[in-house]
Amino acid sequence: MALNQAANGHGRVAYVNARLIDPASNLDAPGALLTEGEAIADLGPRLFNDGVPAGIEAIDANGLCLAPGLVDIRVQLREPGEEHKETIATAGAAAIAGGITSMVCLPNTEPVIDNVAGIEFIARRAREVKRAKVYAYAAATKELAGKDITEIGLLSEAGAVAFTDGVRAIASARVMRRALSYASAFGALIVQHPEEPALADTGVMNEGEIATRLGLSGIPTCAEAMMVARDLRLVELTGGRYHVAHVSTAEAVELIRRAKARGIAVTCDTAPPYFALNELAVGDYRTFAKLSPPLRSDDDRRAIIAGLRDGTIDAIASDHAPQDQDSKRLPFVHAEYGGIGLETLLALSLELYHNNHLTLPEVIRRLTEAPARILGLKAGSLAKGRPADLLLFDPARPWVIEESAIRSKSKNTPFERRPVQGMAVRTVIDGRTVHGAA
């Protein structure tokens, strides 16, 4: 049966002639997979070797890769409050086009997600939109003000998957200690934006020769390392669970590497800009390359790749931060931080494979099993009985990242006109094809 025949999510559907990649079970082999309703019913190299029985819809993968749908654990949805930049619907459309079946949104909306009503709003809107699954972080401190801890136990019961102040660091050591201690009573995870605010306050790009030449204030790499070093001491003190978001510097990677060797409960992620770009992308005051944390030196970029290669960096997230043109087309100092990344997450991550830094299953692990495991999500695996959230992709298909083709409401990608390889051919959520079939 042709690849473009849609699976309707009901009954039984067989995906045959696929390369099955499931990092959770270390599976990488030719084979087939069967879904029944919303769940995975069976899979394996020998499944349907004698043909697909009558009554089962067959989808021929034509040798393409079939993996768990991507799990993106750092997304700014902008809804509620800034729907002119992005909505759950537009982000969902972008996500499924990029092979993302689950995404986790930051709490820095208007109003802030720091109460049960905010968690419930996100869950309700995601059900209404019926695109990618959406989970929510709750704020670690009320109103993201860095002072009073939110009701972690109550918010966990309501569905918050972890706690963070989003794009703000929890700057106070006392507050971070209290958050880690309080969260540990519920087995909850604290996620930190690792940047010492006092050192980063006036900076707009990475501190160094490029910033000096452009006449821009710099953010030193030690702003990240100092926050990570402080927090790791607090994790040791409290026994809490701690995750470092969008790691961007060599020094922070080394601190986390040493902490893991000592058995400290720390995980971390990075994002494509930090292994695929460096500070030279700022060019002549290019505001689409103004990110937080900032693009770093090439030595830092190579250290991020090394951290991904040796497992120090657990996961890759898009760090999707949509900004409208009025927020970006300003003098560099005044432009907002952030770049979009949902539709480009897969292709940019596959550069690690094409450049021989990671194997294909290793790349997929950092986009599926690892982020799902960190947040305890029922995702990121092809195991029997798991939700049929699937990604059929061609790792070699070439394309060029162009603003005109971006589905996100905002278009602020730092990768405009970059040639890439790798494309989502079909995205399936709960057995229902949501992208890639007529």
Which residues have a catalytic role annotated?
A: 319
String of b and e for 329-348 (b: at least 16 CB within 10 Å)? eeebeebbbbbbbbbbbbbb
d(CA 161, CA 105): 10
| C-alpha angle 103-309-188 in degrees, rounded to nearest 5 | 40
| C-alpha separations of 20 from 17, 113, 366, 399 in Å | 9, 38, 16, 23
Q: CA 259, 293, 363 angle in degrees (round to 5)?
A: 65
Could you write out the DSSP letters of every residue in 253-315?
HHHHHHHHHTT--EEEEE-THHHH--GGGGTTT-GGG--SSPP--HHHHHHHHHHHHTTSS-E
Q: Give the integer Cα–Cα distance in Å for 330 and 216.
A: 14
Which residues have CB under 8 Å from 157's CB, separation 6+? none
